[in-house]
Structure 1
Amino acid sequence: MLKNKLIIMLALVGAMAGCVSNQQARVDFDRNSEITTTDYKTFAWLNKSKILAESVDANPVMKVRIDNAIEQAFIAKGYQLVNDAEQADFTISYTMGSRDKVKVDSLPVMYRTSFMWGSRFYGGMGTDTRVRNITEGKLAIDVYDVKSHQPVWHGWAVKRIKSSEQDNPSKAIKMVIEQVVAQF
């Protein structure tokens, strides 16, 4: 009976570990409750470079993809892009970055059994340890009210970047940006 419970527990842990490794981006936001955004119709970029602070090792092609995806996400929500920031209802900017991490997972392995002289001998509980290098990307989008010059909204996403997404990032960029902007 104990062995069956252990097998079920390990199967659940394995399933949960599989879900974590395939998880989507973690998305959240913070809003300035003192500013109403219900009348917003137009937006512009906060500055000419569009990004708030560009990292030294930024990929310029990736930046263009992100610029376009952010514009398209706000347009899809019904806002109109204008060139003059002073004529817009709100302005937008963003920051992005990535970080390499080492991920260590240690999972228990099943009891090992052996037969000695016709009876069972239960060995100790061992662990299976895996060490992996992962890359985690973060994107944050900021919205500012033009009239009051106050920050209105800050949305962000953090996502583990798979090697397939590093090779072809356009789909992942679009998906993450749409998830962030959907919170606005």
Structure 2
Amino acid sequence: MKPIKILILSTLLTFIAGCATNSAKVDFDKNTNIETVNYKTFAWLTEAKIMASPVDINPVMKERVDNSIEQAFIAKGYQLVSDAENADFTISYTVGSRDKIKVNSYPATYNSGFGWGRGYYGGRGYYGSMTMGTETSVRQYTEGKLAIDVYDVKTHQPVWHGWATKRITSENSENPLATINKIVVEVVSKFN
């Protein structure tokens, strides 16, 4: 596997930076047929904790995410129990990443600040050619996703699905534990 791919996958789970211009998009979906207000205890759905582990997941980062998710639910007042059958709900999560390309194309005069650069008149008189050049920029980036799922133990039904997506940057690896905790808390805060 290429070193850059390993680096990207290692930083996948640390996809939150404090930068407001690159904040995570957080949302959720809830099964309104199941009431969650009486939930008091939770357990992991499986011993592995992660629903579908990527082949090359960093085991150190996985442990950080496991612990962060546990602590986020405990901080909301739920008690962790070891036996899933004795819990009110179970949890699991998934992670992933996708390489993306963003292409921007602007008229050549767009960046001049005035909008009526030399290309507007075509350099051939007042009504000259209306053909204007364009400036195109292409950026490649990786977008990471973390999703947390909640299942009702009694009905064995999915209750809640919360997720966050974020562009992964080099700054995300500077303080991985803090960034993991921040994104997990943001997602879990949507659960009620």
TM-score range, shorter chain: 0.7 to 0.9
User: Displacement of 1:59 after TM fit?
Assistant: 1.1
Q: Pairwise mapping of residues 96-111 of structure 1 onto structure 2 (< 5 A)? A: 96-108=95-107, 109=110, 110=112, 111=116
User: Displacement of 1:101 after TM fit?
Assistant: 1.5
Q: Secondary structure at the match of 2:22?
A: coil
Q: TM-score, normalised by structure 2?
A: 0.75
**Partners of 2:32 and 2:136 in 1: CA distance:** 46
User: Displacement of 1:148 after TM fit?
Assistant: 1.2
Q: How many residues align?
A: 160
Structure 1 residues 167, 133: closer, same or farther in 2, change over 3 A? Answer: farther
User: Displacement of 1:154 after TM fit?
Assistant: 0.7
Residue matched to 1:151: 158
CA contact (8 A) 1:103 1:131 kept: yes
Query: 2:138 matched to 1:131?
Result: yes
**Unaligned 5+ runs, structure 2:** 1-19, 120-124
Residue matched to 1:74: 73
CA contact (8 A) 1:139 1:158 kept: yes
**Partners of 1:166 and 1:135 in 2: CA distance:** 14
Residue matched to 1:85: 84
Residue matched to 1:181: 188
**Partners of 1:51 and 1:102 in 2: CA distance:** 28
Structure 1 residues 170, 120: closer, same or farther in 2, change over 3 A? Answer: farther
Q: TM-score, normalised by structure 1?
A: 0.78
CA RMSD of aligned residues (A): 2.2
- Which structure is higher in RCO with an 8 Å CA cutoff and minimum separation 6? 2
Residue matched to 1:172: 179
CA displacement 1:39-79 (0-9 Å, x = unmatched): 00111100100000101121111111111111111111111
